[in-house]
């Protein structure tokens, strides 16, 4: 069924979302994009993004970054 996001096709959304969040982290923390991406990969926010049932794939990079900031509190 086309147009339906499943765990099997979720991987198509993740690179763009992760890159956007990494750019925000890099700008905020003075890191390279690569360093920021590795940092994002180690977060609970990223682990939730990888699971379709959380619906984190609906969020923009800015929203994911805000969730990440809240997670760090």
Global confidence as pTM? 0.92
Residue 14 included in any domain: yes
Q: Which domain holds residue 47?
A: 10-71
Residue 39 included in any domain: yes
For residue 64, what pLDDT is reported?
98
How many C-beta atoms surround the C-beta of residue 68 within 10 A? 19
The tens-digit pLDDT sequence of the chain (73 residues) is 578 999 999 999 999 999 999 999 999 999 999 999 999 999 999 999 999 999 999 999 999 999 999 998 7
For residue 1, what pLDDT is reported?
52
Residue 5 included in any domain: no
Q: How many domains does the chain have?
A: 1
| d(C-alpha 20, C-alpha 58), whole Å | 14
């Amino acid at each position: 069924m086309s147009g339906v996001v499943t765990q099997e096709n979720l991987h198509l959304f993740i690179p763009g979302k992760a890159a956007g969040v990494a750019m925000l982290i890099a700008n905020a923390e003075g890191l390279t994009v690569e360093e920021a991406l590795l940092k994002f990969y180690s977060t609970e926010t990223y682990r939730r993004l990888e699971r379709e049932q959380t619906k984190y794939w609906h969020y923009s990079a800015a929203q994911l970054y805000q969730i990440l900031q809240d997670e760090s509190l």
